Amino acid sequence: MSIKYSFNYFNPYAFRALERKLLSESEKGWIVDKVGQFFIKYRSCEPKKRSVQVVFDPGASEYAPGVTAETQELEEYISAAGWMKACDYFKQKIYYNEDPDAVPIETDDRLKLQSIKDSMRPTNLFGFVVIFLFAIFFGVFGDAVAGTFSSPGYLTIKAGFLAMALLPTYFLVSYVRYALWVHNSEVSLEAGGGLADGNGALILDWIIVAAALVLLLVFIIGSVQETGDTDEGMKMVINFVTFFFIISIGRNLAIFLRDKLRGQGKKTGSWVVILFMFVIFLLLFTLRDFLLG
């Protein structure tokens, strides 16, 4: 069995673009085996037309993407209809059927739109937390940041500030694009059509991330080489990045805790994640003088 890879440049809600890509590969003799953050893995198969469908499971997550007690019955129904699960990817379940004219798993676009909204809610929430954190940072240190950019030199700190600014920009761009897709889908459904296509390309996202990484690398190299930039500016950048990673780790721990509780049969919602992140934020705010000192 041979394998090959391709870039995963699809937005989470651009399921139709992803389905078209997987169908095209199937006709060339490659069936999807695994979908990851950056790459899609295929295994060789008989070249033929098949059916491919992406189904959203709002209850799944990074740590519990598989079958749960709530979805077991649905999985059995899907299997009986001839659909085989290719893989799980976060809140997406990807199925294929050897029959190119197979009856779709989901036929109600309104229900699918609601499933996508439920699936995207935690991601959007985390993006809002990052934007809120950046707004607080800029509110506290705005004068210092403006003074740095209005002065000659300080290239290392300027690179660090720009890298920080690209972080909330990434989430803002992603959310605006998603909100536009939801709006276009709702308008289309009201007119009797289907969901909007979604334009799967994540090129802009990758450009923002690449630019942030380059600027962060410039900041790290400049910090190591001691370019003469002020210690205060260095601390501001380092602490912002530290706060972001602490909150990111806290979010992942909260999701892990929620899924463990669900696995024990306890009913827990996204409030566990929100509460956990709020506690971490309060802790960071309480210790801000110590951390920034």
3-state DSSP of the chain: CCEEEEECCECCCCHHHHHHHHHHHHHCCEEEEEECCCEEEEEECCCCCCEEEEEECCCCCCCCCCCCCCCHHHHHHHHHCCCEEEEEECCEEEEEECCCCCCCCCCCHHHHHHHHHHHHHHHHHHHHHHHHHHHHHHHHHHHHHHHHHCCCCCHHHHHHHHHHHHHHHHHHHHHHHHHHHHHHHHHHHHCCCCCCCCCCECHHHHHHHHHHHHHHHHHHHHHHHCCCCCHHHHHHHHHHHHHHHHHHHHHHHHHHHHHHHHHCCCCCCCHHHHHHHHHHHHHHHHCHHHHHC
Q: Lowest mean pLDDT: which of 41-45, 207-211, 222-226?
A: 222-226
pLDDT at residue 43 in the model: 92
Confidence of residue 288 (pLDDT cuts 50, 70, 90): low
Range ranked top by mean pLDDT from 43-47, 167-171, 249-253, 255-259: 43-47
Alpha carbons 259 and 170: distance in angstroms, whole number: 27
Alpha carbons 284 and 136: distance in angstroms, whole number: 12
pLDDT at residue 187 in the model: 92
* CA separation, residue 260 to residues 61, 122, 180, 269 (Å): 12, 17, 34, 12
Alpha carbons 293 and 288: distance in angstroms, whole number: 8
Which is more confidently placed, 141 or 291? 141
Query: Which bin fits 50, alpha (ψ -120 to 50), beta or left (φ > 0)?
Result: beta
Is 35 buried (19+), middle (13-18) or exposed (0-12) by CB count in 10 A? buried
Alpha carbons 3 and 44: distance in angstroms, whole number: 6
Query: Which bin fits 203, alpha (ψ -120 to 50), beta or left (φ > 0)?
Result: alpha
Q: Residue 69 above 60 pLDDT?
A: no
Confidence of residue 51 (pLDDT cuts 50, 70, 90): very high
Which is more confidently placed, 9 or 235? 9
pLDDT at residue 65 in the model: 47
Per-residue pLDDT tens digits for 103-132: 888 778 888 888 888 878 777 777 777 777
Mean pLDDT along residues 160-176: 81
Candidates 99, 11, 106, 121; CA nearest to 54 is 106
Residues of the chain above pLDDT 90, percent: 13
pTM: 0.70
pLDDT at residue 254 in the model: 64
Q: Residue 27 above 80 pLDDT?
A: yes
Mean pLDDT along residues 54-77: 64
pLDDT at residue 263 in the model: 56
Range ranked top by mean pLDDT from 54-58, 89-93, 115-119, 189-193: 189-193
Confidence of residue 41 (pLDDT cuts 50, 70, 90): very high
Per-residue pLDDT tens digits for 222-271: 665 555 555 555 666 666 666 666 666 666 666 666 656 655 555 555 55
Q: Are the C-beta atoms of 52 and 22 separated by less than 8 Å?
A: yes
Mean pLDDT along residues 275-293: 58
Is 167 buried (19+), middle (13-18) or exposed (0-12) by CB count in 10 A? buried
Q: Lowest mean pLDDT: which of 64-68, 100-104, 196-200?
A: 64-68
Looking at every residue in the chain, the average pLDDT score rounds to 75
pLDDT at residue 63 in the model: 45
Q: Are the C-beta atoms of 198 and 188 separated by less than 8 Å?
A: no
